[in-house]
Amino acid sequence: MDQNISFTLKVWRQNGPKAEGHFDTFEMKDIPGDTSFLEMLDILNEQLIEGGNEPFVFDHDCREGICGMCSLYINGHPHGPAQGATTCQLYMRRFHDGDVITVEPWRSAAFPIIKDCMVDRSAFDKIIAAGGYTSVRTGQAQDANAILISKDAADEAMDCATCIGCGACVAACKNGSAMLFVSSKVSQFALLPQGRVEAARRAKNMVAKMEELGFGNCTNTRACEAECPKNESIANIARLNREFIKAKLAD
């Protein structure tokens, strides 16, 4: 049975991208170990509201590790200390009685703060709009064997497609690079014949949009790979570089 823990919680408060931010400190008492991290923040907000204070703003949606909205930087780790997990999959049993837990937003010029720890990640949507799709006619589904794809390629493309676009790679990178996200989205198409038709345009457009939006460049520290909740591989970055170079040489 999980024991209750008491700890000091420091959360980042900021009223917008241009406002000056600061940490607020709270003493959390007797929180059950089987409480999720977001449920713990719900408890904090209930206490704040009951005391007539403004609640702490953080992003969340599915709370099932699917959407990646729970983008919190916890004790120096995007999504917290648990590997291969989002913040909503983090439980208080990971921490110890008397710990100091520091919660911050994603730190990136491309992810401006909306309020407290909620950031605007629409930059990722703009990168996808620049080329993260295939232009095909929709209609009746083709026979499964009409386009032959090897199991290895299909499996790897599916692994790339599991990227949820949470932005942990950007938060982990000292350069604020979005290369792991972009390369995963490029790779899921580059590995399949349906994606080859627009491969060159896709690589060039998505990389150009990434640079335009202010993301940094990759210097291969592998921090993104270490912190990704879906365990995306930096082999995708190598594939993106190959796709981009081939497109530029073709020009």
Tens-place pLDDT, residues 128-155: 999 999 987 777 777 777 888 999 999 9
Closest CA to 195 of 249, 126, 136, 127: 136
Options 3.10.20.30, 1.10.238.10, 3.40.50.300, 3.40.50.620; CATH of 4-104: 3.10.20.30
Q: What is the pLDDT of residues 64-120, one digit of tens each?
A: 999 999 999 999 999 999 999 999 999 999 999 999 999 999 999 999 999 999 999
Whether residue 244 is predicted with pLDDT greater than 90 in this model: the reply is: yes
* Positions of E strands within 134-176: none
| Separation of alpha carbons 183 and 180, rounded Å | 5
Residues 32-42 pLDDT 10s: 999 999 999 99
Question: Distance between CA 172 and CA 168 in Å, rounded?
Answer: 6
The DSSP call for residue 98 is T
pTM of the complete model: 0.93
Strand ranges, E, within 14-138: 22-32, 73-74, 77-78, 100-104, 113-115, 118-119
Sign of CA dihedral 12, 16, 17, 18: negative
Distance between CA atoms of residues 210 and 110, nearest Å: 9
pLDDT confidence of residue 139: 77
Nearest to 209 by CA among 126, 132, 110, 134: 126
* Domains in the chain: boundaries: 4-104, 120-250
Residue 10: CB atoms within 10 Å? 14
Q: Is 78 helix (H, G, I), strand (E, B) or coil?
A: strand
Classify domain 120-250 at the CATH topology level: Fumarate Reductase Iron-sulfur Protein; Chain B, domain 2 (1.10.1060)
Burial 15-36 (b: 16+ CB within 10 A, else e): eeeeeeeeeeeeebeebbeebb
